[in-house]
Structure 1
């Protein structure tokens, strides 16, 4: 987990331990109190416990963090830490098979999840607070009553799941092997950061049951684990339960800290790789650096931000503005426990020689060496860090994560005090010093990842990088019997742990108070006051989007949105960015099918100034011709990147297959290469004329009241004049007469991307909520769903699969999506069909009870974060719902019957209605797909028929 850097300019902060102190933030500009109380203690067996109370919502987050990541692995047995992240969700002695995942569905949890990095593994979820004892019981079962349930078949199956994750995240995507190449060359062979967290396919395959048990018994012990509970709970009860369920788990061997070890490079290494999926050349330079929570780490964060983020950043000025050979250079510092890295990555424009990129980088560095960083730039970076800090604490889970992070890697949750002091003390001289210490004239690792057949674009004198490529062999994976029931001895306990704790007091659904108002220009405002953090989140939604694009001007809406943030009549791009940063504000504009949306976040004390800038963006655009050409190049680069990403290809083709390839909703919102090249500045100005306040709604969630918000908006937006604009709603009536499979060939793809579906329901259709309930057990319930249980847990075909309804104010598709390993493409497709065919008949009362329980109980989490509240306001505004619609939906959930669900399944989970899109390796998989007996067409991205492959 990346630490959150904290800058609270003119703010003092004190964080409490288990004494009576509290975290207090006092803003001298405006009286504000912000508190994060916590209590920390240690059980006799060494388990560290951190408790944080937050009663704003009837929910509680529980996180179990083990101080073990890939750095604790042995060479030749890599990937074990991440493998355990998977295994611990499968079964434990007292939860039974499916363990925490099944319980999460029953209690209305956010879905049990976990993550692994080099130095720690965590397990977490947020649940209604009546399930807290259940969660403590379950987490204790994983820590002390789990390892006996891991058998040979369990291990064999989960190996396949993890290998599928590796294919999806690394092997089957552009630049996916880059981190492997960098770390193999940056760190010596005996350094624990030499290998990837996910491990190698060979090591995973070779893992034995004995290896796995040895790893667990060494690292999954109370004295190497931190339990964090944050939310609405009774402290005395929580302590009693923690002691009951965790207290008798025996302490393990002492865990000796690993010494920090920053690698020393004796030479610069220059490597290249021809990437099967990349469409653009990418140059990456990596320097070894200080570990996290060391003095230099703070200045390195500022340095990375300054050099690459924003219009004024030297790397942007040289590479994007002056040379115009790249669109988004990125420099970042990433700190880990033992060492850190400074990584500069530049994805160049098509056909650009990476030698010219390196020359540009050297020029940017030279500019920095000459000019340094100004005091004002240091202050604006610190202001954005303040907002980021508050935002990281906007959920109980976020607060829990932060407290555990400080406990494990800084030795004390209260390190937040020292962390803050280090951030506040960073000076201009510090930033210059770390540049000289870690970058200037220092050796580094450089990689040139270039498209297949374009090695000429790599840096001069680069040598080929060694990358392990998996071969696609049908029937190559080992088999396992998922029906076998594990037999094992139970771990002794002083009480019967097989009895699941009862629910606590049922939480009451807290529906936020929603206020509404209108301005004279027709703009509608929807708001919720939220006092948990001193921030305001906001969203301006302007109806139109792709629907108001001229058919010959594809991409004009998206390009207009991008250009609107590139300055105003009184501010250049750099001046606008600087003004926003100094306020701790960030703003994003994007275009979708039905609307253009401006979203943002700011410190509550700066809401009025931020809205003044938003008004300038919307009412006084700059229309800078140079910025127009740069934005155009950026979009053309993104379009080129999409062509190399199988997932993006699948999504775009599915839209064409479902709506019809010429339908407005089937268009890529970026446009096409040809349409974007043809766009002129006048086209953007014509489209801008359709962005009017009487088609706009604003949703605001934050630490301000209605009067302040309305008065501010009325003042700053009074010059945004209304205008009559007609938006034509598209006809949506695409139906298929019989199932059809569209197959797109991506040679040597390690996975096949599957997108199956058809046009279904609008979100305000009376059937929409019942259909979502029907889909929960099919594919909408994560690990509780049939698709996941069969394709992932039983067969090991995929890392993940889900089904969903995507309706809005317009009818949207029902879609099943997954990435499956290449050699089971046809098998996965047929298995989906089989599951759907039997679904209506197989759905039973137990399934209905589970589904109702989830939908009713998960309502406690509906409004926990500012983003969740914004979604709630958006549904009210978009779908014309009343604020109490949640309560009415609860009645629908309670009253739905089994025959109604079965009828919905027959109507909406019918495989004969599906359009099938498969993006994969035709050479090895097309014939197997054709043998399924459905009509199969080999097509390109525009659904144009391709010549059949030669046999």
Structure 2
């Protein structure tokens, strides 16, 4: 729900313009035309060119239809994009577009309340909706046989929604939106930054001067009929594009689109909004106190608008200044430990873009926000003197090529690309033009946009400081946004809302029947063990020329001593730094020029190396990976910087309620062992770690024996094995993990209360220790049992707290585990004023389910939802990688999938209910609440619980 970067996944340097057929006669489409459906164009695949082939049509009511056939997997992705976002709202009526994203899931004339999620989930699919400043989209990915059903759902909410929008639903979703704002804005450190900057950057009344989430007072001011009027203005078929991709029959799909959408009447005509240049007459200094640990400086320059001819050059400029370890801001602020973080970006939306520079000072540096502002401005001078280098352009273009190709690995990626281009340019095949403008950027272009939009130009300078520390601001505030001028309007009455009605020759109240699901094959795989003990599992995927790889080294968090928790995380940081052969900056530059990404991170049991590369660049990429793993430099200054930043990150995280809740819950679950501590460590344990500790652990544990290498590539088995031969020279064996995690003596039936002053929301966690993870045993069956309680959107817990009460943005429960321990967990982030009520409802749902169990209809829902989603499990290389990793981790054969399917199909109501009684005993669980202790303590004690103040 934020401003999106238009080009993030849409660029490819080798792309050339596709030849399109002219839209003049039916013979140009191989799909027979239907009356009322007008053929527009066809784009076809071409040898050695990467395009997204499609056919485009327009119905007589103005609905644009784009069909992309891809039979590689038995699934379809459907996207309905409405060209309306928060930029189409009026002053005083902000948040309407986002509000309607919520309302569109609340049932329509022929679809019952809460049934969108239930129907799609039961079909084995996934769905959601998103809103930003310029568009709203709704999407589903489902098995191919479910296409007609989701077309029926989308058509019903496009043409038959308003009669089902009741005052009661309106009130509940208004509360849900408030909870979303609380969770993502008001209760999050720096959460109001963008709202405050936008108010200062844009003129009063500019459609980007408010956030997509809107203002609470605006939501409180309006009634349900205001919302209906907004829908009627913007959600007509002539302001929408429906894009369907996947395993489809084009003629049949077109006929179904006509059946369900053609009779929906047009809405009012929609004109493109005017793109007004944004200028500032002086620097605007603003500030805000927040519940944060570190102050933050944010400088924002207004620039152009999305797809402006200068956007691409400004993107290149942002990369040079703050896009990676090779950037100038990194060198001038982060590398020398003056800041814990510094970055630059240039987000663009339909009407405007902004060039943003951000920095958080390191406390040990003694630098103020004013100092950071001076360094940033000196960095701009340095850039002007340095100019643009050849590698700057090479890196950006290589990364865009890679981003584009990886973005086309899924049907949803291709469909989303087509939908966005159609919505914002009117040309779904705009991709060639988009690529060309980046490929054509020159050094002179970058210098020109720097001089035009940044050098000597005015900006908004925002200081965010800890509460009570306004003296830390970069400069005294010199700008106050003018008060919003909200014109008085009369309340819209029900009779003033004239609903457009469709006339059909079929009964829309009957949900379409679907054919039998197509069988889904488990990916074919191959397996080897290298002489040095690396276990290799791979699969070939030929849809894109890419290779994705995961190396898991048995050297994770569980190998650490509790007093030095975070050691592996620091080791991962060091492996991402310099090697003995090249600096961190040179390594970053080498990878960027290949368009490759390599990230090393710590997990509980493994040190994980994630690699993504275009296959044509795989060999040089793997050579760099090998260098990272075998030749780390372990430079003192780099260690000091990473250790210090890690400590500051932990301290800063304690301002976040969710972090505090998770930390308290983890500690109470395990108490005095390594599992009680976060993978990243605590400020105390991190302070105990020396560079010699990291080196010693590396020498002991970063070895190939029993490591796992999982790969999905378009290369066949033999070529892939040849590609990884360089790892054969890596030798050694680390110590085996010997770990027991005894049960804690944490008190059950009490509330552990963690204080967070004046928290807008409270975080609740309920749970206990439970089973270790298994694949086809009681742990797996218990998660099937939990699916109805808290494992799906339509679960008891979420429907109660979110959809019925409006207490939260989302709530749920699950069984979690690994080889060493397990847990049952339930929780939510809730409005502060209903913390006690939310806790009562959570406990009630768990107890009721333990007592009464699952119903017959719920059991069938669970079976259908779990056993019909196989098509989504293996679609992308990333999904295949996760699947293969599971097989290797647990020493499975692919037959485990069939075994699980049989369990789902055969598990009885009696077994489900017995598991619920066994594992959901509230008396065995403890409770963690994070919120304002002064307010919550008497409320929680009034519930009859003992309340223990708990510190993190």
TM over 0.5: yes
Output aligned runs, 1:614-693, within 5 Å: 614-660=625-671, 662-689=672-699, 690-693=701-704
Task: Tell me how far 1:52 sits from its aligned partner.
Answer: 0.8
What is the CA–CA distance in structure 1 between the aligned matches of 2:172 and 2:482, rounded to whole Å? 26
Aligned counterparts of 2:11 and 2:94: Cα–Cα separation in 1: 37
The DSSP-based 3-state class of the residue aligned with 2:784 is helix
Matches within 5 A, 1:361-510: 361-462=376-477, 492-510=503-521
Displacement of 1:559 in angstroms is 0.4
Residues 873, 879 of structure 2: 8 Å contact kept? yes
Match of 2:60 among 44, 61, 67: 44
Displacement after TM superposition at 1:830 (Å): 0.9
Contact 1:522 1:693 in 2 (8 A): yes
**Could you tell which deviates more after superposition, 762-771 or 167-176?**
762-771
8 Å CA contact 2:790–2:811 kept in 1: the answer is: yes
Residues 651-670 of structure 1, C-alpha deviations (whole Å, 9 max, x = no match): 1111001111x221111222
Contact 2:555 2:605 in 1 (8 A): yes
Distance 1:133 1:10, change over 3 A: closer
2:76 corresponds to: 60
2:155 equivalent to 1:140: yes
Q: Please, what TM-score do these two structures have when normalized by structure 2?
A: 0.93
Residues 873-892 of structure 1 aligned to structure 2 (within 5 Å)? 873-892=884-903
CA distance in 2, matches of 1:79, 1:428: 41
Alignment of 1:724-739 (within 5 A): 724-734=734-744, 738-739=748-749
d(CA) in 2 for partners of 1:80 and 1:20? 36
Contact 1:177/1:467 (<8 A) preserved? no
* Separation in structure 2 between the aligned mates of residue 465 and residue 699 of structure 1, nearest angstrom: 55
1:343 corresponds to: 356
Greater Cα offset, 665-674 or 823-832: 665-674
Q: Distance in 2 between matches of 1:646 and 1:763?
A: 28
* TM-superposed deviation, 1:735: 6.2
Aligned mates of 1:930, 1:645 — CA distance in 2: 24
Offset at residue 762 of structure 1 (A): 2.4
Query: What's the offset of the Cα at 1:938?
Result: 1.1
1:34-57 Cα shifts (integer Å, max 9, x gaps)? 442111111000000111111111
Give the whole-Å Cα distance in 2 for the aligned partners of 1:128 and 1:792: 28
- Aligned to 1:337, the other structure's residue is in SS state coil
The match for 2:36 is: none
Match of 1:850 in 2: 861
Mapped partners of 1:165, 1:738: distance in 2:
31
> Which residue does the alignment assign to 1:796?
806
Structure 2 SS opposite 1:762: coil
Corresponding residue number in structure 2 for 1:528 = 539
Q: What displacement does 1:7 show?
A: 4.5
Question: Which of the residues 124, 133, 140 maps onto 1:108?
Answer: 124
Q: Specify which of 85, 91, 96 is matched with residue 101 of structure 2.
A: 85
Q: Does 1:3 align with 2:6?
A: yes
Aligned partner of 2:295 in structure 1 is 281
1:814 counterpart SS class = strand
Cα distance in 1, alignment partners of residues 80 and 923 from structure 2: 44
Corresponding residue of 1:829: 839
Indicate the residue corresponding to 2:815 in structure 1. Answer: 805
**Alpha-carbon distance, 1:311 to partner:** 2.2
1:759 aligns with 2:769: yes
Over 4 Å off, 4+ runs: 15-21, 463-468, 488-492
Q: CA separation in 1, counterparts of 2:821 and 2:880?
A: 24
Distance 1:658 1:44, change over 3 A: same
How far 1:310 sits from its partner (Å)? 2.1
Q: Match for residue 472 of structure 1?
A: none
Q: Deviations over 1:170-203 (max 9, x none)?
A: 0001011111111111111121111111110110
Does residue 1:312 correspond to 2:326, yes or no? yes
Structure-1 separation of matches of 2:210 and 2:417: 26
Structure 1 unaligned segments of length 5 or more: list them: 27-32, 469-487, 942-951
* Secondary structure of residue in 2 paired with 1:295: coil
CA distance in 1, matches of 2:19, 2:811: 42
Query: Residue in 2 aligned with 1:206?
Result: 221
Say what the alpha-carbon RMSD is for the aligned residues.
Answer: 1.8
Partners of 1:371 and 1:377 lie apart in 2 by: 12
Offset at residue 634 of structure 1 (A): 1.9
Contact 1:536 1:604 in 2 (8 A): yes
> 1-side partners of 2:141 and 2:305: how far apart?
31
Compute the TM-score of the two structures, normalised by the length of structure 1: 0.93
* CA drift at 1:13: 5.3
Does 2:44 correspond to 1:22?
Answer: yes
Shift of 1:23: 4.1
Question: Post-superposition shift, 1:230?
Answer: 1.0
CA distance in structure 1 between the partners assigned to 2:227 and 2:627 by the alignment: 59
1:933 equivalent to 2:923? Answer no
Deviations 1:202-229 (A, max 9, x none): 1011111221111010101000001011
Deviations 1:584-615 (A, max 9, x none): 11111111211111112110111111111111
Separation in structure 2 between the aligned mates of residue 24 and residue 438 of structure 1, nearest angstrom: 39
Check conservation: 1:13, 1:23, Cα contact below 8 A.
Answer: no
- Matching residue of 2:563: 552
> Does the C-alpha gap of structure 1 residues 12 and 518 become closer, same or farther in structure 2, counting only changes over 3 Å?
farther
What is the rounded CA distance, in whole Å, between the counterparts of 1:802 and 1:243 in structure 2? 39
Shift in Å, 1:678: 3.5
Cα distance between partner residues in 2 of 1:553 and 1:562: 15
Give the equivalent residue in structure 2 for 1:748.
758
Q: Aligned partners of 1:800 and 1:352: how far apart in 2?
A: 40
**1:14–1:906 distance in 2 versus 1, CA, 3 Å:** same
Post-superposition shift, 1:436?
1.1
The match for 1:718 is: 728
- Could you tell me how far apart the structure 2 residues matched to 1:687 and 1:355 are? 41
- Residues 756, 914 of structure 1: 8 Å contact kept: yes
| Residue 786 (str. 1) matches residue 768 (str. 2) | no
Q: Which moved more, 1:514-523 or 1:672-681?
A: 672-681
More deviation in 15-24 or 674-683? 15-24
- Correspondences of 1:104-253 after superposition (within 5 Å): 104-110=120-126, 112-253=127-268
Contact 1:16 1:23 in 2 (8 A): no
Q: Is the 8 A contact 1:148 1:490 kept in 2?
A: no
Q: Give 2:524's aligned residue.
A: 513
Decide whether the 8 Å contact of 1:736 with 1:913 is kept in 2: no
**Which residue does 1:267 correspond to in 2?**
282
Residue by residue, what CA displacement relative to the aligned partner does 1:771-812 show, whole Å, maximum 9, x if unpaired? 111111111112x11111100111110011111222123322
Q: Give the length in aligned residue pairs.
A: 910
Q: CA deviation at 1:910?
A: 2.5
| Larger CA deviation: 90-99 vs 628-637 | 628-637
State the alpha-carbon separation in 1 of the partners of residues 328 and 286 from structure 2.
Answer: 25
